């Protein structure tokens, strides 16, 4: 495990009092068997260190509540988000650490077998922030759409809203951004705006919607009322 810590270039205390994160699966990361906890279908935490990893090339639906609206509807899409997490936990995928990071302090990791399975089963969509997605990822997604699998059971919208940020999240800001994944090429560029969203309001674009819930209201005692009852 020391080798893993050295590989990702992050130092952690070695005191036996450092708590060990909960784990629910194992993966093979750069040739080493590693215990992990899958947070959702595209994010895991390394059990012994707490290092968080974001998987490359795809995005699963949010799993903190029924917050997506397109195709089969919020309740079914929430079930699909949870099914993606179950698939991630189902076997020890072979993965490699990437040179780029995963954003928000996470390391980037590629798990090709999991990525392909997610896309072909409609449990995830392609996701690229720096231009179009790769041809192979788009082909895997196209198979899922053609099969009406998972989130594509009632067809594919023009785009899927993947994140929404209200202007008032940043004090003094004049703009904030949302991301909408274009189904045709997988790109999800920032879409700048100056809108203020009320918590639990729908943000819609390109034939899909995302329920706006600030991060501080997604979990725990401050959980938003619209997430209290799972629909």
Grouped pLDDT means (10 residues each) for the chain, 231 residues = 39 34 88 96 93 96 97 98 98 93 80 98 96 97 98 98 97 97 97 98 98 96 85 43
43-57 burial, b at 16+ Cβ within 10 Å, e below that, comes to bbbbbbbebbbbbbb
* 15 found inside a domain: no
- What per-residue confidence (pLDDT) applies to 22? 73
| Domains of the chain: total | 1
Residue corresponding to tokens 């059990």: 47
Domain extent for 33 = 23-227
191 located within any domain: yes
Residue 98 lies in a domain: yes
What are the Cα distances from residue 145, in Å, to 72, 118, 120, 124? 13, 12, 8, 11
Q: Provide the CATH number for the domain around residue 189.
A: 2.40.50.90
Of residues 217, 182, 181, the one with CA closest to residue 200:
217
Report the pLDDT value the prediction gives residue 226, as an integer from 0 to 100: 95
pLDDT of residue 104: 67
pLDDT of residue 105: 77
């Amino acid at each position: 495990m020391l080798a893993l810590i050295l590989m990702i270039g992050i130092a952690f205390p070695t005191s036996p009092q450092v708590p060990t994160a909960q784990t629910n699966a194992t993966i093979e990361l750069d040739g080493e068997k590693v215990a992990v906890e899958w947070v959702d279908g595209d994010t895991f935490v390394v059990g012994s260190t707490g290092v968080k990893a974001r998987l490359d090339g795809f995005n699963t639906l949010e799993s903190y509540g029924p917050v997506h609206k397109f195709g089969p509807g919020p309740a079914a899409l929430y079930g699909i988000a949870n099914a993606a997490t179950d698939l991630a936990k189902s076997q020890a995928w072979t993965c490699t650490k990437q040179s780029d990071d995963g954003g928000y302090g996470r390391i980037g990791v590629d798990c090709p077998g999991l990525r392909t399975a997610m896309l072909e089963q409609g449990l995830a969509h392609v996701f690229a922030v720096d231009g179009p997605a790769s041809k192979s990822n788009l082909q895997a997604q196209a198979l899922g759409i053609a099969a009406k699998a998972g989130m594509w059971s009632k067809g594919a919208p023009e785009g899927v809203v993947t994140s929404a940020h209200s202007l008032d999240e940043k004090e003094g800001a004049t703009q904030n951004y949302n991301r909408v994944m274009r189904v045709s090429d997988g790109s999800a560029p920032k879409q700048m705006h100056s809108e203020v969203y009320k918590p639990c309001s729908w943000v819609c674009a390109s034939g899909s919607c995302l329920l706006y819930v600030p991060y501080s209201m997604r979990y725990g005692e401050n959980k938003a009322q619209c997430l209290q009852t799972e629909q």
